[in-house]
Structure 1
Amino acid sequence: MNDYRGIFADGLWNNNVVFAQMLALCPLMAVTSTATNGLGMGLATTAVLLASNIVVSSLRHWIAQEVRIPVYVLLIASLVTLADMAINAWLHELYKVLGLFIPLIVVNCCVLGRAESFASKQPVSAAAADGLAMGLGLTLALVLIGACREILGSATLFSHASLLLGPAFTFLETTLIKDYHGFLLMLLPPGGFLVLGFLLAGKRVIERVAEKREVKEEFHCSVQ
């Protein structure tokens, strides 16, 4: 399991939290009305995933099998509380937008799932890589869906990024079409489902094309 390239390939594409495992759909539909919100939620979840994997892997030899799940939940809840307080203190505007969905990271299946299925069985370095990879994959999905919904819904990209994430993110704010009247459906949860469906279909098409290419290359190699 020390194949870090494979770990990141799983997190970003093959076993992506959203596009492969279909997890975290509740915050996905609720907060991805803009790419900025998706980025903020993704980074918060990535921090919790990374920290929880490191802590669980570090303590795996001292946690009894009979009580491991309650211990994992307690550790994750503590880390989420710290993340919630940090966002409230330093990114208060983002905190007001994400609201209840930050504490709900505790019940996000991908966080507990990675702690149980990977971090509890692997060394700290591999667990940290897995947490980072899964978090970045989730962030990529949230930002991608948020960007699609924001572009179609209001013809902007990363709107209010400077207010939510700080002045350093001003360069991300883009207005694609001035005086655009908007497409409200894309900013509502049904729009999130539509965008997710099209992105899932696109991922399947890319995977099938890649599989056919691999088969052709193997055939040519065998012929030669």
Structure 2
Amino acid sequence: MKFILALLLLPTAAVSLVSCVRLLAPLAQGSSFSWNFLCGLAAYPVAHYFWHRPTRLYVLGHELSHAVAGWLSGASVHKISVKKSSGHVVLSRSNAVVALAPYCLPFYSVLCLLLFRLAAFKFDVSPYHPYFLFAMGATLAFHIVTTAEVLLGEEQPDLRQAGGVFFSLVLIVAANSLLIAALFKVLFPQAVDLKMFAIRVLMQTGLVWTWLALRMRSLAAWALRGDGNG
């Protein structure tokens, strides 16, 4: 059942991913603030591959994402263990959302955003806004790079627990695309139009399904002609 659901969601996930990437275009044409974000987005992969891979930091964020998602879904968090290259969290119960949370949620980006907004209630943080945007870009790149590395490496038990690798990957792509688009809107409300993003996703998903329906119709007609000739 989940495999069929993943097949049905696959066009939406693919279109959402492409539409999310396209949101970067207006940022590149925007103010110096958006360039601070883009510089952070570009700087982290360079640091990751040519300087240092913060594995323990990733493991910490991974397990905390499980814990937060579990707590928000009503589960009790009994234990969190974080080691240099592995970790685990013990919850009273779990589900697909909890299992996939670390792969979908840019944990450190959300943490950075919350801390900056909380600080803004008490202090004038405007002088630090460029640094905040650079940090947001870097933490988002951290999430994308480390998540991709993990998913392209050994098979993750979390994916099996959530309902299978294919189902999980489709959900991860869709969730990341939607969450990152929402994050862009929060950071750059004037440059990002979420309404147009949603319309584009719906329209292009419809076009994909229309194309698939036409191809299936043509294939069925060809098969029927073949049977008639036989």
Q: TM-score, normalised by structure 2?
A: 0.34
Work out which of the two has the higher radius of gyration on C-alpha atoms and give 1 or 2. 2
The alignment's TM-score, normalised by the length of structure 1, stands at 0.35
